[in-house]
Amino acid sequence: MPGDAAAREAEGDPGRDPDDRAGPGPEPSDAASDDGAELAADARGGRRGRRLKREVKQRSFWKELPILIGIAIVLALVIKTFLMQAFSIPSNSMQNTLQEGDRVLVDKLTPWFGSEPERGEVVVFHDPGGWLGEAPEGGGGLGGAVQSALSFIGLMPSAEDQDLIKRVIAVGGDTVACEEGGEVQVNGEPLDESEYLFPGNTPCGDRPFGPIEIPEGRLWVMGDHRQDSLDSRYHQNLEGGGTVSEDDVVGRAIVIAWPIDRWGTLPVPDSYGSVGAAAMAATPAALGVAGAVPLVLMRRRRLLRKAAEAAPVAGEPAPWAAGRAPEAGPEARPEMGETPQR
């Protein structure tokens, strides 16, 4: 009957599976598809982020490169001007100490602090005038421009540089001489030059000279290869009498930097240690004595004052007479820098 059918539909058919009942079923879930989309988006975002980082790094490098080059040039100029400069040896006049083609590093810092050239040092100096003749013209074209740029920052020697390198034999106030067949004498003291003189050379070569008094502020210089060096001996007819002004000195050569197998320092030979040693040692000794005398007097006065303050007053027993040590007041404590007596 229709009423029974309606009732069965309302109450449900006990013999029918509930899942087979009519009516809208549950909507399909999109959770899996949403998770996949998010992962894909994250992957795309990660790749895009890494690509952007690489692009930013590349842009930053190219933006910073000119700054880095500028800083490097400034540092090179500072080093060349105030600290150290490389020079190339153009001849054999300093053999065997230096060979043609060697690169030496020249100390330009110490002269800024008042250091003056000393006997025995190997120094680079500007042409005093007439020693090298006319300056050569710099090379043209691209090669000349590159050399000029590199020499400007100290990485290459300039084609127009008029510089020489020799050993200082005598300084201002010295008397230098060399008799034929004899040794070079400075202030009457013969120099033992066997340590650096080119084998087979004589100290004077074929140019004996002197005695010559070196003016203050000037130097007498000679090459270690005496028979192949146009040094002070050959320019006595020029202004300065063959001497070089200390103002023309670029600096002292301290290291052979190139080639690597010839790397080494350029110390002052031991033979120069005795030349003028008495005169040079007198000044520091005198200054030391002059400074020590007032210090000794001040210390003695301070000790006498402490002794007077520690003495007992007349009529009163000394504190240590009763078996107790005197109190250590401020006066009895050792002052800063003093070592307590034991």
Per-residue model confidence as pLDDT tens digits over 98-113: 999 999 999 988 877 8
In a domain, 41, yes or no: no
What would the mean pLDDT of 315-338 be, rounded to a whole number?
A: 44
Q: What are phi and psi of 256, to 5 degrees?
A: -85, 110
Paired tokens of 19: 């899942």
DSSP class of residue 106? Answer: E
Q: Is 232 a catalytic residue?
A: no
Q: What are phi and psi of 33, to 5 degrees?
A: -65, -35
Contacts of 220 (CB under 8 A, 6+ apart): 168, 169, 170, 171, 174, 176, 212, 214, 232, 242, 243, 244
In a domain, 213, yes or no: yes
Q: How many domains does the chain have?
A: 1
Percent of the chain scoring above 70 in pLDDT: 53
Residue 342 has pLDDT above 50, yes or no: no
Catalytic residue of the set 29, 63, 91, 93? 93
Do 235 and 147 meet the contact criterion of CB atoms below 8 Å apart? no
Q: Is the peptide bond before 111 cis (omega within 30 degrees of 0)?
A: no
Angle at 220 between CA 227 and CA 100, to 5 degrees: 45
pLDDT at 86: 86
In a domain, 113, yes or no: yes
In a domain, 214, yes or no: yes
3 state DSSP class of 212: strand
CATH of the domain at 236: 2.10.109.10
Q: What is the C-alpha to C-alpha distance for residues 317 and 179, in angstroms, rounded to an integer?
A: 83
> Backbone dihedral region of 57: left (phi > 0), alpha (psi from -120 to 50 degrees) or beta?
alpha
Q: Is 80 a catalytic residue?
A: no
Range of the domain at 210: 86-130+148-274
Catalytic residue of the set 80, 108, 166, 232? 166
Residue 22 has pLDDT above 50, yes or no: no
Q: What is the C-alpha to C-alpha distance for residues 82 and 33, in angstroms, rounded to an integer?
A: 71
In a domain, 138, yes or no: no
Other CB atoms closer than 10 Å to residue 245's CB: what's the count? 15
pTM given for the model: 0.58
